[in-house]
Structure 1
């Protein structure tokens, strides 16, 4: 069964807790979403607050995917570019699918829903994202139509002696 997506859902305690739980589970399963495992709810909460502030300021929008039980199973944050010469594309951040749903096509569904949402934003021509090298995420995004447009070697330090490339990817929305 496919996920049900909602752009800009009503934000309440249940949604907050669902996103935090998703972020903890994805991080602890080795997902490249800003943390190195193990992480706790207390470590994730301040990062979510930063996203919420951006949402309150109108710079970021939230796309949530719910599973058949109504639980938060996927997220992506779509952020408008604030540079006046780059307002024709947006960033996506914190792209996550719960580990229990890996391999079901939900990631592809999420990326399709992201593109569809972005097409509804006035003046948006492309989506940019970055991903951590060495995880295979770049191959996944390429399979969703994204193209690698830049790479910063060794920009992400996940541990002493383990530096990863920061890969910049773009999806034109034609």
Structure 2
């Protein structure tokens, strides 16, 4: 389905996304995540790439993250619409260091561009927090976001607090360095 088709479908009816924590990863989910990641990036989303990208460029990163899911080093949360299309996703990764096992990382948090501005980003962040609470012993979620896009303001509305910033740590293009912003959500 193309972006135009998806936008049209969204205009007809906007049912809330249904979130599934730790879904079975099959070919359809793999392809849905890949399409989502490409769409989000090409719409200007800060999910590890700079637009424009193709599926072939994103696929290795997705394969790496899904391999971590299969190995138990990451957990996946997926948001789907009524037709089963993958329109939101986020990965949770525990810390390997024994002194930091009480918090985990959120990675590659994304909502399809056609579904943004409808509260579904906040719903995704809430679902990630709920998923983290089911893991036992988790007191916080930490994530990193790219400066210059207002993402820290969005995460603040979701209950996160800025806890650090490294100026110019992310180079999106020559002469275009962005801050790497650390955000933390306390779950207790």
Instruction: Report the 3-state secondary structure (helix = DSSP H, G, I; strand = E; otherwise coil) of the residue aligned with 2:66.
Output: helix
Q: CA deviation at 1:69?
A: 2.1
Equivalenced residues, count: 174
Residue in structure 1 matched with residue 9 of structure 2 by the alignment: none
Matching of residue 38 in structure 1 with residue 52 in structure 2:
yes
Gaps of 5+ in 2: 1-14
Q: Does 1:161 align with 2:175?
A: yes
Distance 2:81 2:46 in 1: 22
Which residue of the partner structure matches residue 60 of structure 1? 74
CA distance in 1, matches of 2:75, 2:159: 22
Deviation of the 1:172 alpha carbon: 0.4
Tell me the equivalent position of 1:11.
25
Q: CA RMSD in A?
A: 0.6
The question of 1:110 aligning with 2:129 is answered: no
Name the residue aligned to 2:4. Answer: none
Deviation readout 1:71-128 (Å, 9 max, x if unpaired): 0000000001111110000000000000000111100100000000011111100000
Report what 2:3 is aligned to. Answer: none
Task: Give the alignment's TM-score, normalised by structure 1.
Answer: 0.98
| Distance in 2 (alpha carbons) for counterparts of 1:83 and 1:49 | 24
| Shift, 1:57, TM fit | 1.6
Q: CA deviation at 1:18?
A: 0.2
**For 1:17 and 1:136, how far apart are their aligned partners in 2?**
29
Q: CA deviation at 1:55?
A: 1.0
Whether 2:16 is the aligned partner of 1:2: answer: yes
The 2-side partners of 1:84 and 1:49 are apart by 27
Q: Which residue does 1:143 correspond to in 2? A: 157
